[in-house]
């Protein structure tokens, strides 16, 4: 080998080593995988699906007024923080910002984005279908918005309307008396529910820069009880009848300690749920049986 060939072979070896190094860099070691869907590369996504046990959380928020002092995106900002804290305890993929849900009752307030009924159903269904097509077998809905409660339960029920290769689970923590006790000790008010003491506290713990405590008392968050004469009835205008300012409670009493406790307790319960969803083999097996049966009901043993 002459000197030129020797130099060329050294250069070649260096380039080869660099190329090997690069291709190894392209796929991260598991520990370094982001939990954020949008931050994963395509090769990393394959690893993330495996590492997460084919699970993905969709934190569902909304754009709506939160009293005079909290941001429009409060529900999403806080439930994404809960998801993030849970995913640090139990690895799962977190779906990007999702703001589409039921919020017709706040259409009279500035900043509300209220998509139509079919749009919200179809968008969530198609999002789940696309996750399913990408190998996610277990989709966890984490609801950050009170107005979504009936919608998301209905959405879960509607998953049985046609055969699916994935299952949808809604985070639905059981009442825990010791947790209730811990929160009660820190709380100063009893009327709450929207931009009041709890939600203001959570935002103070999560993003204090977005809270305007000096404005929390500028509007009335009391229950106006304008439908108090109506007995044994539910009607869509109930919330507007009670809380026309789209504010329920007293945000002025918010405090960081309560907020930190709420975020810690919720994320702990969510991590526990993610763990149990990963281990769960029954739901998908029963769905399979059910869909087979529902395509031939006369064959179902009587």
Binding residues with Zn ion: total (CB under 5 A) = 2
CB nearer Zn ion, residue 74 or residue 148: 74
Counting contacts by CB under 5 A, is residue 105 touching Zn ion? no
Please state the closest distance from residue 45 (CB atom) to Zn ion, in A: 31
φ/ψ bin of 182: left (φ > 0), alpha (ψ from -120 to 50), beta (otherwise): alpha
Q: Which stretch binds Zn ion (CB under 5 A): 40-48, 73-81, 97-105, 278-286?
A: 73-81
Q: Which stretch binds Zn ion (CB under 5 A): 22-30, 74-82, 119-127, 224-232?
A: 74-82
Please state the closest distance from residue 210 (CB atom) to Zn ion, in A: 13
Please state the closest distance from residue 199 (CB atom) to Zn ion, in A: 5
Q: Which stretch binds Zn ion (CB under 5 A): 12-20, 75-83, 226-234, 274-282?
A: 75-83
Residue 17, helix vs strand vs coil: helix
Q: Report long-range pairs for 238-246 (Cβ below 8 Å, ≥24 apart).
A: 239/105, 239/147, 240/105, 240/108, 243/193, 243/194, 245/67, 245/219, 245/220, 245/221, 246/64, 246/65, 246/66, 246/67, 246/105, 246/106, 246/109, 246/194, 246/195
Tokens read off for 114: 């209220």
CB nearer Zn ion, residue 74 or residue 206: 74
Nearest alpha carbon to residue 206 among 111, 71, 89, 101:
71
Nearest to Zn ion by Cβ — which residue? 75
CB nearer Zn ion, residue 75 or residue 197: 75
Q: Which stretch binds Zn ion (CB under 5 A): 26-34, 68-76, 83-91, 282-290?
A: 68-76
Among 44, 75, 90, 198, indicate the residue that binds Zn ion (CB under 5 A). 75
Distance CA 294, CA 286 (A): 12
Residue 27, helix vs strand vs coil: coil
Instruction: Give the residues lining the site for Zn ion (CB under 5 A).
Output: 74-75
């Amino acid at each position: 080998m002459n000197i030129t060939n020797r130099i060329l072979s050294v250069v070649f070896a260096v380039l080869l080593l660099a190329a090997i190094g690069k291709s190894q860099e392209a796929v991260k070691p598991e520990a370094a995988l982001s939990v954020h869907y949008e931050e994963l590369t395509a090769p990393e996504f394959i690893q993330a699906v495996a590492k997460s046990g084919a699970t993905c959380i969709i934190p569902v928020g909304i754009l709506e007024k939160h009293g005079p002092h909290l941001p429009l995106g409060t529900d999403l900002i806080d439930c994404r923080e809960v998801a993030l804290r849970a995913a640090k305890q139990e690895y799962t993929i977190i779906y990007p910002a999702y703001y589409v849900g039921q919020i017709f009752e706040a259409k009279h307030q500035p900043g509300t984005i209220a998509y139509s009924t079919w749009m919200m159903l179809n968008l969530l269904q198609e999002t789940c279908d696309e996750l399913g097509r990408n190998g996610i077998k277990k989709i966890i809905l984490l609801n950050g918005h009170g107005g979504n409660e009936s919608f998301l339960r209905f959405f879960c029920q509607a998953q049985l309307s046609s055969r699916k290769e994935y299952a949808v689970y809604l985070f639905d923590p059981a009442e825990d008396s010791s947790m209730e006790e811990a929160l009660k000790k820190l709380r100063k008010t009893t009327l709450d529910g929207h931009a009041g003491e709890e939600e203001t506290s959570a935002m103070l713990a999560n993003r204090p820069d977005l809270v305007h405590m000096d404005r929390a008392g500028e509007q009335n968050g009391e229950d106006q009880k304008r439908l108090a004469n109506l007995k044994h009835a539910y009607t869509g205008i109930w919330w507007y009848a009670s809380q026309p300012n789209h504010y329920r409670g007293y945000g002025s009493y918010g405090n960081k300690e309560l907020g930190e406790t709420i975020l810690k307790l919720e994320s702990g319960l969510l991590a526990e749920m993610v763990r149990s969803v990963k281990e769960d083999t029954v739901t998908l097996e029963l769905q399979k049986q059910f869909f087979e049966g529902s395509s031939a009901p006369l064959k179902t043993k009587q």
